[in-house]
Amino acid sequence: MRVRGAVALAILAWSQSGPSAVAQSWPTRAVTMVVPFAPGGGTDVLGRIVAKRLSETLGQQVIVENVGGAGGMMGSARVVKSPPDGYQFVLGSRADAINQTLYKTPLYNLMSDLEPVVLVADQPTVMVARKDLPVNGLQEFIAYTRANQARMQFGSAGAGSTGFIDCALFNAAIGLNITHVPYRGGGPAMQDLIGGRIDYFCTLTGTAVPQIESGLIKAVAVMTKDRAPMLPNLPSTWEQGFRDFEASTWFGFYVPKGTPAAVIKRLRDATVEALDTPSVQEQLLKSGSLVSAPDRRSTEYLKKFTESEIAKNGAPIKAAGISME
């Protein structure tokens, strides 16, 4: 009886120091935030601003690692395959929702292979052109592009990226057939736009704001109904008579399926604390990001939102006949 009692106590002690206890003490070492696009783009800028403050709220360093390719799928797929312990998470985005429909065989299932943590921010899409393109405003841009489409090129952060989809849908809406030049991220595409090697680019405000303000590129329109607060002088597509669709990109944290609930909650709470920091909000706005509203920061909200975004983005992609192998 004494032996059985000792065994029972040992089992009880193990259960109290098992996965739940480990999750509650997380993290005990550095964690990695995978940014699924190249350095220098809007996703990367957003991730690094949040990571710096998140390191403080978690009490451990948050290392940013850029894993680009396949419109963001390579980075997310890497996290899918990582241990479900919270030490590697991805800065997912609308691109992940798009890829579920765009690719005939996606590298992962966004709803079943990843666990949502928290919605972080949103960035409006802005159409920008090389600074010497002879247009002012959206209507002049449309007229010029229609007349010169055979020799024009548009860039993107990669086939499958939100910018690629937004430009492709815009081109389809006005009957254009423009050569697409994919890059491994918004940063490299922006450099070629600055150098005049491509003609235009649908990208995130986080990628474009500094270059617009410095006069390195020409802003055509914010692809939303209202003007973007970080670009108050740039008219929206709606203001300029184009109301066929709106485009912006959301961002959120995701962890591998099976990550303990306590770890997800800890990461979510630490992220919210970071987002509520005035200096972080100021940096994000200045760089082109809008922090998610408090009522949109629950894990359950991101789960339902992700599911709705897959359907919402899939419909126009199917209608336009856009697909990738």
Query: What are the structural domains, with CATH classification, of the chain?
Result: 28-122+249-320 (3.40.190.150), 124-222 (3.40.190.10)
Tokens of 98: 């798009």
Tokens of 176: 């254009």
3-class SS string, 267-317: HHHHHHHHHCCHHHHHHHHHHCCEECCHHHCCHHHHHHHHHHHHHHHHHHH
pLDDT of 262-318, one tens digit each? Answer: 999 999 999 999 999 999 999 999 888 999 999 999 999 999 999 999 998 898 888
How far is residue 98's CA from residue 158's CA, in Å, rounded to a whole number? Answer: 13
Residue with tokens 């617009």: 212
How far is residue 99's CA from residue 24's CA, in Å, rounded to a whole number? Answer: 34
Please give the share of the chain, as a percent, with pLDDT higher than 70.
Answer: 93
pLDDT of 135-150, one tens digit each? Answer: 999 999 999 999 999 9
How far is residue 239's CA from residue 317's CA, in Å, rounded to a whole number? Answer: 25
pLDDT of 48-101, one tens digit each? Answer: 999 999 999 999 999 999 998 888 899 999 999 999 999 999 999 999 999 999
How far, in whole angstroms, is CA 296 from its chain's centroid?
A: 16
Cα→Cα distances 165→158, 247, 321, Å: 10, 10, 11
How far, in whole angstroms, is CA 41 from its chain's centroid?
A: 10
First to last CA, the chain: 65
How far is residue 252's CA from residue 302's CA, in Å, rounded to a whole number? Answer: 8
Tokens of 317: 């992609």
Can you give the pTM of this predicted structure?
0.83
- CB neighbours of 139 closer than 8 A, spacing ≥ 6? 240, 241
Tokens of 92: 């997912």
How far is residue 281's CA from residue 290's CA, in Å, rounded to a whole number? Answer: 8
Q: Is 230 helix (H, G, I), strand (E, B) or coil?
A: coil
State the number of CA atoms in the 13 A half-sphere of 33 facing the CB: 28
What average pLDDT does the chain have? 90
Count, residues in the chain? 325
pLDDT at residue 18 tops 60: no
Q: Which residues pair with 31 in a beta bridge?
A: 62
Sort strands 179-182 and 248-256 into parallel, antiparallel or unpaired.
Answer: unpaired
Question: pLDDT band at residue 156, thresholds of 50, 70 and 90?
Answer: very high
Rounded to the nearest 5 degrees, what angle is found at the Cα of 61, between the Cα atoms of 55 and 63?
105
**To 10 degrees, the CA torsion angle through 252, 113, 20, 35?**
-40
